[in-house]
Amino acid sequence: MDDIFIQPELGPSEEPSENESSLDPDSDNDFEAASIKSTRSCSTENLQPTLENGRRYADDSYFMPNDESELTRLNIVHQIYLILLDGNLTTAPLNTPRPRILDIGTGPGDWAIEMSAKHPTAEIIASDLGVFDSGLGHLSLPNVDFQLADAQSQWTYHEPFDLIHIRGLSGAFNDWHNIYTQALSHLKPGGYIEVADVDPAGDTITMPSDLETSHLRTYAAALRAAADEAGYPRDLKHLATTALSEAGFVDVRVQERSIPIGLWPEDVREKTLGKMGLIVLLEGLEAYALRTLTRSGRWSLDEATELCEKVRGECVSATGLVARVRIVTGKKPVSFAQRREEVMARTMARIKALNADGLEEK
Contact residues: ligand SAM, CB under 6 A: 58, 62, 64, 66, 74, 77-78, 105-107, 110-111, 128-130, 150-152, 167-169, 172
Between residues 26 and 133, which has the closer beta carbon with respect to ligand SAM? 133
Instruction: Name the minimum Å distance from CB 260 to ligand SAM.
Output: 20
Q: Which is nearer to ligand SAM, 104 or 211 (CB)?
A: 104
Least distance in angstroms from the C-beta of 75 to ligand SAM: 8
- We find the least distance from the C-beta atom of residue 104 to ligand SAM, in angstroms, to be 6
CB of 165 to ligand SAM, least distance (A): 8
Between CA 222 and CA 54 the distance in angstroms is 21
Q: Cβ 101 to ligand SAM, closest distance in Å?
A: 13
In whole angstroms, the minimum distance from the beta carbon of 57 to ligand SAM comes to 9
> Which residue of this chain has its Cβ atom nearest to ligand SAM in the complex?
107
Closest CA to 229 of 201, 205, 206, 200: 201
Rounded Cα distance between 257 and 196, Å, is: 11
Which of residues 58 and 327 has its CB atom nearest to ligand SAM in the complex? 58
Q: Which is nearer to ligand SAM, 102 or 211 (CB)?
A: 102
Burial 303-339 (b: 16+ CB within 10 A, else e): ebbebbebbbebbeebeebbbebbbbbbbbbeeeebb
Q: Which is nearer to ligand SAM, 81 or 219 (CB)?
A: 81
d(CA 301, CA 307): 10
Nearest approach, Cβ of 357 to ligand SAM (angstroms)?
40
Please, what's the largest Cα pairwise distance for the chain? 70
The smaller minimum CB distance to ligand SAM, of residues 24 and 228, is found at 228
Range list of H helices, 130-257:
176-185, 215-230, 241-245
Phi, psi of 175, rounded to the nearest 5 degrees: -145, 90
b/e code 31-57 from CB counts within 10 Å (16+ = b): beeeeeeebeebebeeeebeeeeebbb
Nearest by Cα to 254 from 202, 196, 198, 205? 196
C-beta of 60 vs 303, nearer to ligand SAM: 60
* Cα 274 from Cα 16, distance rounded (Å): 48
CA atoms of 296 and 282, how far apart (whole Å): 22
Q: Any idea what DSSP says for residue 17?
A: P
Q: Measured from the CB of residue 78, what is the shortest distance to ligand SAM in angstroms?
A: 5
Smaller CB distance to ligand SAM: residue 77 or 322? Answer: 77
DSSP state of 324: E
Which has the closest alpha carbon to 64: 104, 105, 102?
Answer: 105
Q: Is 118 helix (H, G, I), strand (E, B) or coil?
A: helix
Q: CB of 287: closest distance to ligand SAM in angstroms?
A: 9
Name residue 5's beta-bridge partners. Answer: 41, 147
Q: Which is nearer to ligand SAM, 28 or 150 (CB)?
A: 150
Neighbours of 134 (CB within 10 A): 12
For ligand SAM, which is the closer residue by CB, 72 or 338?
72
Provide the 3-class DSSP secondary structure of residue 189: strand
What's the min distance (Å) between Cβ of 106 and ligand SAM? Answer: 6
